[in-house]
Structure 1
Amino acid sequence: MAEQERGIRTRRTILLAAAKVFEERGYQTARISEILSEAGVTKGALYFHFQSKDELAQGVLSAQEQSLVIPDRASKVQEIVDIVMLHTYRLQNDPMVRAGVRLTMDQLAHELDRSGPFRSWAAPVRDRLEKARAQGELLPHIETGETADVIVGTYAGIQSMSQALSDYRDLVRRVTILLRHLLPSIVQSSVLASVDMTESRAASVYAEAVEYSQRISAAEAVEAVA
């Protein structure tokens, strides 16, 4: 068990180092030697967990996937807002997520498959849109697949703009502005009136998601023992 935990810690250390190098240098110019130096591990330890720079990059990219759980809301539109706000908070505060976004948006990384994060982002948004449509929350013309892609694509542009102009310091404000402009063309006005998309929502959703995810993990651990 101790050896397994040590392996998990080593893998995490390598990924954090890779995230820092990828964020600073981009995929194309990042070097394995730089990641080794940053991680402070041997070449053998790195190659035990990751066989190539591509595998390292894919490990960092996967960190963007939603690892925290948001409780079910009566309004599925609110759930969509909360998914966006949670990612926004993590993007501002988690270097692994920032590096994953940098890789996803790196158009010079021609040999790297960057499609995964876009697909994993669009899927939960589309799922909530379909549930929102079933509940009568959406305007009649909405096609959920197209709308999910629009939400993900416009968010990608806004975060890229925020990174260039302020190193993500104004990201929450820009995202709330995006939602205020985008959602009226998607959501019934009677529903939209009760949706919270204020700037303080990002931090509160993150805190709630951490607590909720911890409760789920604890319950699963008890169930496994029983």
Structure 2
Amino acid sequence: MKTREAILRAAAEVFDEYGFSGASVAKITKRAKVTQGSVYFHFDSKEGLARAVMVGQGDGLELPPGTDGLQRLIDITLYLAEQLQTNPVLRGGVRLSVEQGEFGLRDDEAYQQWVGVFREQLTAAHERGELTASADVSELAWLLVSCFSGTQLFSQISTDRADLPQRIISLWRYLLPGVAADGVRGSLRVAATPDAPGKRKR
């Protein structure tokens, strides 16, 4: 298991740096300090390894604690924005999700995993009366993952994600008036964590 984890982490780093086309098993084995035989013992191909990195992009993340609901969802999205600046496993998996057509996949499992995480928080928010009456939990979870994905991609291209936390703060600033109940909206905190790169509170 330790060898497999080392391979996955090295692969994530290499895929993040070079993309699927620019990565090679040789680069991955060198980064992981293992033999090619070890790689092919755990994964049948470069494509299989890429899919494992893609669907395992959230492995090892420690999502912010707190009471399930709208505030925790906001905190999770800002945590993910910060992790996308530094976490090679998440970054590599996200890049492969975008580039998966290059290795013959059309797989939304990674996106659906995040939809599930967001839906869980939105369901709790609904039960706590934190959402507007017209908010549909499943539709909103899908929309939020879509908006987050597009925002992080634009930020990656523009600034290598240097401005991503601030972009997610802006996303919530415009989204909350449409989904948060009137009595809740004023109590919600939408700000980068104190040690986040490029932090800026609103």
Give the TM-score, by structure 1 length: 0.78
Give matches, 1:194-209, under 5 Å: 194-200=187-193, 203=196
| Match status 1:63 vs 2:57 | yes
- Name the structure with the higher helix share: 1
Q: Which amino acid aligns with 1:33?
A: A
Secondary structure of 2:99's counterpart equals coil
CA distance in 2, matches of 1:52, 1:162: 31
Provide structure 1 residue ranges, at least 5 long, that are not aligned to the other structure.
1-6, 204-226
Other-structure match for 1:187: 180
| Match status 1:134 vs 2:109 | no
| % same residue | 34
Q: Which amino acid aligns with 1:70?
A: P
CA distance in 2, matches of 1:22, 1:113: 18
Give matches, 1:56-135, under 5 Å: 56-61=49-54, 62-65=56-59, 67-73=61-67, 76-106=69-99, 108-109=101-102, 111-135=104-128
8 A contact 1:57–1:103 mirrored in 2? yes
Provide structure 2 residue ranges, at least 5 long, that are not aligned to the other structure.
197-202
Q: Which amino acid aligns with 1:41?
A: V
Deviation of the 1:190 alpha carbon: 1.9
CA distance in 1, matches of 2:110, 2:166: 23
CA distance 1:147–1:101, shift in 2 (3 Å) = same
CA distance 1:28–1:192, shift in 2 (3 Å) = same
Which consecutive segments of 4 or more residues in structure 1 shift more than 6 A? none
8 A contact 2:63–2:79 mirrored in 1? no
Segment drifting more, 118-127 vs 24-33: 24-33
Segment drifting more, 55-64 vs 153-162: 55-64
**Once superposed, what is the RMSD of the aligned Cα atoms?**
2.1
8 A contact 2:57–2:90 mirrored in 1? yes
